[in-house]
């Protein structure tokens, strides 16, 4: 029988829209944009819930995982969240870590992948403690059940180090009507305003570039059309003149 550690009081540390099963089970499940918490926990997972944000949402996922050394597998399944791309961002965090200066997740395709509240040690612990299983865009409960059972059968036992406790410095967040919008978070994440402004500027620049390209295409078409029209008139005039000369000489003869 594999070794297990006692779970700390109050685990999971971060509240949110998730379901909890046996905390000594080695499997945590992120269901991304799909709402199937209870179903997945009933299949045997220790914890399961959606993940819609690539910043505070991921911070809370990491916090809840590294504070329970019994978790050794993270299954990432369910429909990918467009724009935030949280599934691929979790994988990027696991594979590449973060930039120590900007706290951005390296290689993430998400819009604002900044985990400002996570220390480097927490990210390294996340990478060392887990094996990530990619089932992105798979909502089939039979497939998920089979993968959970496979992980349980291959449970290596608890991670050797003690639980890592992280205190997130959360900013005030506005509540949304749909409280299921985050994994391991209860409301929309608050992101750095400068990053949001930068994203807005980048979107405007892309829009302007698109308009400039479109105007350039129209100018080229107009120029080509005008040039072709003038050329046609000149050729028509020359041919008419030639025909008149030929007719004149024929009559003269």
Strand 73-78 to strand 47-49: parallel, antiparallel, or no bridges (unpaired)? unpaired
Residue range 36-68, pLDDT digits in tens: 999 999 999 999 999 999 999 999 999 999 999
C-alpha dihedral sign at 161, 186, 94, 29: positive
Strand partners, 92: none
Strand partners, 30: 49, 76
Strand 47-49 to strand 19-20: parallel, antiparallel, or no bridges (unpaired)? antiparallel
Helix-, strand-, coil-residue percentages of the chain, each rounded to 5:
45, 10, 45
C-alpha dihedral sign at 153, 156, 161, 167: negative
Question: What is the pTM for the complete model shown?
Answer: 0.69
Residue range 116-173, pLDDT digits in tens: 999 999 999 999 999 999 999 999 999 999 999 999 999 999 999 999 999 887 543 4
Q: Report CA 86 to chain centroid distance, whole Å.
A: 3
């Amino acid at each position: 029988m594999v070794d297990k550690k006692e779970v700390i009081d109050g685990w999971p540390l971060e509240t949110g829209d998730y379901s909890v099963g046996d905390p000594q089970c080695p499997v945590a499940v992120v269901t991304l944009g799909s709402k199937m918490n209870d179903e997945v926990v009933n299949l045997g997972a220790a914890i399961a819930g959606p993940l819609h944000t690539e910043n505070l949402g991921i911070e809370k996922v990491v916090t809840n995982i590294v504070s329970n050394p019994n978790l050794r597998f993270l299954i990432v399944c369910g429909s990918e969240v467009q724009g935030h791309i949280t599934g691929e961002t979790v994988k990027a965090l696991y594979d590449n870590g973060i930039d120590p200066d900007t706290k951005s997740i390296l290689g993430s395709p998400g819009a604002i992948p900044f985990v400002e509240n996570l220390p480097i040690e927490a990210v390294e612990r996340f990478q060392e403690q887990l094996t990530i299983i990619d089932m992105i865009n798979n909502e089939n409960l039979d497939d998920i059940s089979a993968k959970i059972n496979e992980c349980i059968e291959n449970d290596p036992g608890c991670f050797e180090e003690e639980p890592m406790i992280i205190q997130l410095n959360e900013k005030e967040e506005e509540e949304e009507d749909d409280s299921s919008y985050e994994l391991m978070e209860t409301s929309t994440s608050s992101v750095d305003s400068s990053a949001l402004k930068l994203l807005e500027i980048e979107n405007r620049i892309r829009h302007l570039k698109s308009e400039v390209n479109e105007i350039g295409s129209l100018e080229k078409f107009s120029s080509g059309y005008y040039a072709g029209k003038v050329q046609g008139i000149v050729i028509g005039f020359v041919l008419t003149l030639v025909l008149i000369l030929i007719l004149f000489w024929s009559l003269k003869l």
